[in-house]
Copies of this chain bind each other. A is one copy, B any other.
Amino acid sequence: MVSRSGGTGRRTGLKIQRGQLHEGSSPSSGNGTTPRFFRCLPIRYRVKRVNTMIDIDFKEGLVPVIAQDHETGEVLMMAFANRESWEMTLKTGIVHYWSRSRKKLWKKGETSGNVQEVKEIRVDCDGDCILIKVNQIGGAACHTGYRSCFYRVVRGDRLEVDGVKVFDPAEKYPAANNPQEK
């Protein structure tokens, strides 16, 4: 389970197997506790783990996730992920978020069909933000029908819509939940 690269006394190159990561033994718990797998390691191993694995800092349980179109570079949306949704994204190759309003795991596009296929995942310097380059199925990320959630631009003291509308939300969502544009 634990490998040591080199045999000179310097411990580097810790690895865990993919299955272990996905079963909840990721090294960064983000809630102040250390998963059992790591608690059993000598401290010198634990210190090294930061440099060698996917270490996400889930501040208060959540991390911001930016979805960017992998071809055009357009920023499509930003939402939050908790550990469960992050691991679901890694497992499935489909982007999952955590819905703060509904307080539940949110597979993006579950209702509309406009899921986001993972093309590349990047992590920032502090490990507290994730950037995912995606193939946006259906051509639109926004629940209002626009390609990007950022369909409004600041002009002077006002916001003006200049985004491209791809679908009519009334056709994608039940009338009771029909989202309103701002």
Contacts and interface: CB of A to CB of B under 8 A. Distances in A.
Contact of A64 (B64, B121, B152, B154): B64
A159 B159 CA distance: 38
Interface in A127-156: 127, 129, 131, 142-144, 146, 149-154, 156
A158 interface: yes
Contact of A77 (B15, B51, B55, B124): B124
A3 to B, nearest CB: 12
A78 B51 contact: no
6 contacts: A16-B157, A17-B157, A53-B159, A77-B129, A121-B153, A125-B151
Given A73-B73, A125-B142, A125-B181, 4 more contacts: A18-B157, A50-B182, A54-B158, A120-B154
